[in-house]
Structure 1
Amino acid sequence: MNSTPRTPSGDAFAELAISVLRLAGHLTSEGDKLARPSGQTSARWQVLAAANHAPMSVADAARMLGLARQGVQRIADLLEAEGMIAYRDNPVHQRAKLMIPTPKGEAVLADISSRQAVWTNALGADIGEERLKQATALVSDVIALLKERGAQP
């Protein structure tokens, strides 16, 4: 049994955390559906999109996505083997190559992005722009606070 009772704000945060985790599961499932016609998964799409965002190392992509570096490395290597990304020299770090999307990778991203636009436009219209902006601000604040505290309990 928990020896320290939660406060009302602690309960509210716990409910938010559970809701965000449940949302993440739904978003992954929907991402898989959006990526499947292009022969991809949500995870592969995320890594490919990160590489398309800016030339970055696997470690940079993992930090940006909040994922383990080893998992991102495995996916990046698969994407490279399939000709969707290429590794390039990194002027800042000799061993940490930069991921760059190839024309094939860019085409796959464009294909997925067209389906995603229809999906996000419909959901955005149902929820409303202002509510979504407020939710985004709250989630961003929680992320910043966790980073500031070092994610320590």
Structure 2
Amino acid sequence: MSGDVLPSERTPVSEALTPLILDLLRLNSLLLGAGDRLVGHLGLTSARWQVMGAVAAAERPQPVAWLARDLGAHRQNVQRLVNDLEREGLVAFEANPHHRRAQLVVLTDKGRRAYDDAMRLQAPWMNGLSEGLALEDVAAVRRVTTLLRERLEGAEG
């Protein structure tokens, strides 16, 4: 059995992956906090900004369930955020010709301005975070995180 790994034992790659996953979880928390501070004066949070980004990036207006899918989030959480954004006048609901109950979410003019303001702040912030990083290293991390995400998404279905 030389070189073989028992099912209950970790492989060398999984040993290396475990601290990476822990670092990614901590990084996520730090990014959310930094994003909150970056856009807080605009009346946004990282979560609201993320939902607005999904609305802005969509090719056409989408219902909450589709936005949640695109974000990899629970529909109920996205619905709560969309409802908050709607109360603030940042998004609006439009009738969905394909589904009476699943209204479409769109940015209002006020929402578009807030989102554009946030993105203007995001560019220098990202430039600062990326300083000294090699493009190849960023691409390698992206490949690994994309593969892990796809495996986890496949395990859910």
Aligned length: 149
- The DSSP-based 3-state class of the residue aligned with 1:149 is helix
Residue 14 of structure 1 corresponds to 18
Q: What is the alpha-carbon distance in structure 2 between the residues aligned to residue 31 and residue 124 of structure 1? A: 15
Q: Which runs of 5+ in 1 are unaligned?
A: none
Residue 18 of structure 2: SS of its match in structure 1?
Answer: helix
RMSD over equivalenced CA pairs, Å: 1.7
1:56 pairs, out of 62, 73, 78, with: 62
> What TM-score do you get using the length of structure 1 for normalisation?
0.89
2:153 corresponding residue in structure 1: 147
Identity %: 38
Can you list the C-alpha shifts for 1:83-109, whole angstroms capped at 9, x where unaligned?
110111223322111110000000001
Q: 3-state SS of the aligned residue for 1:126?
A: coil
Deviates more, 1:112-121 or 1:8-17: 8-17
Cα offset, 1:143, TM superposition = 1.0
Provide the secondary structure at the position in 1 that maps to 2:156. coil
Distance in 2 (CA, whole Å) between partners of 1:73 and 1:133 is: 33
Unaligned runs of 5+ in 2: 1-6
CA offsets per residue over residues 20-64 of structure 1, 9 Å max, x none? 111111110111011112011111111111111122211111122
Rounded Cα–Cα distance in structure 2 between residues aligned with 1:149 and 1:48: 28
Question: What letter matches 1:42 in structure 2?
Answer: S
